[in-house]
Amino acid sequence: MKTESIIGSSIAHYRVLEKLGGGGMGVVYKAEDTRLGRNVALKFLPAELARDRVTLERFQREARTASSLNHPNICTIFEINEHEGQPFIAMELLEGATLKERINGRPLETDEMLKLAIQIAEALEVAHAKGIVHRDVKPANIFVNARGEAKVLDFGLAKLSTGAPAAHGPDEVTAAHLLTSPGVAMGTVAYMSPEQARGEELDARSDIFSFGLVLYEMATGSGAFSGTTTAILFEAILRGTPAAATRVNPKLPKEFETIIGKALEKDRRLRYQAASGMRVDLERLKRDTDSGRSAAAGVAPAEKSLAVLYFENLSGAKEEEYFRDGMTEDIITELSKVKGLKVFSRPTVLAFRDKQVTPIQIGKELNAAYVLAGSLRRAGNRLRINAQLIDTRTDFPMWAERFDRELLDVFEVQDEIARKITDALRITLSPQEEKALAAKPTENAQAYDYFLRGRGYTRRITRNDLDFAMQMFERAIALDPNFALAHTGLATASGYVFFFHERDMKWVEKGMKSLDLALRLAPDLPEVLAARALFAEAQKKYDEAIDYARRALERKPNCDGAYLVLGRAYFESDRWQEAAAVTERALEVSGDDYNTYIPYMNALERLGLAERAHSVRERMVRTLNAQLELVPDDVRARILLASNSAALGDKDAAVRELERALTLRPNDANVIYNAACTYGILQMKVEAMEALKKAKAAGWRNLDWIARDPDLSCLHDDPEFQRFLTEDKG
């Protein structure tokens, strides 16, 4: 088949539109997928490939494996097929330029270089976790799209060959034929690892060496090794040392050169042993570079940046914590509506709640220009709030005031605080901002109080807490039937009962009824969109759930519950790579919501990203311990602490917390299920299976989740476990 003659023709369900390029590895066309109405790239491989059926079958196996990689920084392979005996691949169509074109003989800026390097490392990490070694990592096989994101191309394809002398090893075959392919010889050889040049068996560490060579070129604009012949290049790779990158590019951070050096160790035993290690070092360097830039001498904090600290609860009563927390969080939300003011999010300031820290300390740690601090005392229907705005550079109060009001004036107090701050900072509010600040969630202060109680208890997720939360939301609605947030809260709590406790569709019906009312009142409210995502997930409409969750987060980046349902939808639909890609952001904005950690940690474990999963688990344990200090009777936090302690190897702590949780809530399906997970992690198969049966009897029937849960992996091959999954689909 002459590929030049296929423009305008139909191949399978693709209509070929134009030729995009070609080289030693084949010709690429832009085509329309007529079934799905999207544009794709069709890559036709060299005609000689079809002459060797063994080689063709090998290629097909490799391409099928590569097509399993679904990650934002990997070019997606949709399918492999044949046309007139010539194999082709349908893949994601990318717009932008290759990294080779992007470098074009010049070093990249440090910020861009680190951003792309982290993305490439993560792509390699995901592929290696699935046992896929690229074998041809080079700038020409890395694409930078129009959004500045890296996309690694041709996973699994570099192993392609057309036959080889019998004396060669399997990966020397690859090297030999790449050397003789027109247009790719020198470029490919220049990025080979020493073991690849020697024709030895390859593993992930070969990709790491090649990636080190790519980093060197990104940092300097030139290749680490050069030569006019293959022999000279091989000699340089095996025994040569590249010029110091910082000498070529004096602006380069010294730590980046250290990373390159560790990747380019000739002895692979001394090299980075996994891409995750490189990614962590690159992320640490990026963090230090960013913070170093902002903390450099003479650099002041953002001119109008504000950290709203949690007000001190002067009543001393733990049962009043919900009101203090709710007031503080709503003031943060109010001030976030002012475009001229950068307000640090709730999770960012959460770390300082009830801590003895000064405004100057917070200013340095967060690079915040101002801090809003204060105290709150509530006695019956009376409310006293002291608030002061402090300049973190001088420790001087810009504004301070005391409010002695009735509870029914709570919204006026929030509005007044916001306006006093904007006045003190000389920020002029637009008419839209004036209107947004004046808006009230409800006209009824008592309904607001019930709502805050309900919101606080919903976050705990245990059955008793959710029952109490629903009572609070129902009381709020009785006082104000048009309170959209209360209807949404009732819907969410009902959904959580369905997901975590009682797999009965009556809870979906109850939640949907509340959600319909909220939709009529405020269809674009972020919390309403998050609830829509929750019930889409309940009906296994995972794409819909993901869409609604994303829309909620676009409107409110720290929207309660949005990242939790997004992670769950990703996990339950096996879109683990997408979950991994947003894990850091999800945990950053979720603060003390320990539930959010679970689906993302599970996704990382299913991808085989053990180091990242371990790091997330350690963070979750710190969050759980902090929660139990504040709320010792949070049974869900306690049982999750048990399972995570087990995973971290602390069996004594795991068993202790498990027994405490089961004593406090012996009939709670969620607690029993997590006890099963703890036993599973501890390899106590009999106890894990018995706990699973009890959890199912108590109402836990999310069989899709159970089948995927890595904490129960010790049971996955057990016939009794398989029967358990198929006996009743719930």
Q: 142 pLDDT band (50/70/90 cuts)?
A: very high
Mean pLDDT of 338-351: 83
Q: How many residues does the chain have?
A: 730
pLDDT for 730 = 43
pLDDT for 1 = 56
Q: In which residue ranges of the chain is CATH 3.30.200.20 found? A: 3-92
Q: How far is CA 121 from CA 92, 126, 284, 604, in A?
A: 20, 9, 13, 15
pLDDT for 301 = 59
pLDDT for 2 = 56
Q: Which residues contact 273 (CB under 8 A, 6 or more apart)?
A: 205
Q: How is residue 179 annotated by DSSP?
A: H
Mean pLDDT of 582-605: 88
Mean pLDDT of 298-315: 77
Mean pLDDT of 280-295: 75
Q: 499 pLDDT band (50/70/90 cuts)?
A: confident
pLDDT higher than threshold 90 for residue 470: yes
Question: Is domain 3-92 given the CATH code 3.30.200.20 in the classification?
Answer: yes
pLDDT for 557 = 82
| Distance between CA atoms of residues 133 and 210, nearest Å | 11
Comparing 728 with 118, the larger pLDDT belongs to: 118
* Window from 162-171, 436-445, 533-542, 558-567 with minimum mean pLDDT: 162-171
pLDDT for 55 = 60
Q: Which residues contact 506 (CB under 8 A, 6 or more apart)?
A: none
Mean pLDDT of 233-248: 87
Mean pLDDT of 559-581: 92
Most trustworthy range by pLDDT among 137-146, 475-484, 715-724: 475-484
Secondary structure (DSSP) of 604-653: HHHTT-HHHHHHHHHHHHHHHHHHHHH-TT-HHHHHHHHHHHHHTT-HHH
Question: Is domain 97-292 given the CATH code 2.60.120.10 in the classification?
Answer: no
Comparing 180 with 339, the larger pLDDT belongs to: 339
**How far is the first Cα of the chain from the last one, in angstroms, to the nearest whole number?**
54
Q: In which residue ranges of the chain is CATH 1.10.510.10 found? A: 97-292
pLDDT higher than threshold 80 for residue 98: yes
pLDDT for 164 = 33
For 450-465, the pLDDT digits (tens) are 999 999 888 877 788 8
pLDDT for 180 = 33
For 377-411, the pLDDT digits (tens) are 887 788 888 889 998 888 888 888 888 888 778 88
pLDDT for 54 = 65
Whose CA is closest to 499, among 526, 462, 543, 529? 462
Superfamily of domain 305-438: ABC-type transport auxiliary lipoprotein component (3.40.50.10610)
- pTM for this model (two decimals): 0.57
Q: What is the dihedral of CA 104, 107, 110, 113, to 10 degrees?
A: 40
pLDDT higher than threshold 60 for residue 171: no
427-436 contacts: CB < 8 A, separation 24 or more? 427/304, 427/338, 427/340, 427/341, 428/340, 429/338, 430/339, 433/337, 433/338, 433/339, 436/337
Q: Which residues contact 233 (CB under 8 A, 6 or more apart)?
A: 186, 189, 190, 225, 226, 227
Q: What is the chain's mean pLDDT, rounded? A: 84
- Count of other CB atoms within 10 angstroms of residue 670: 26
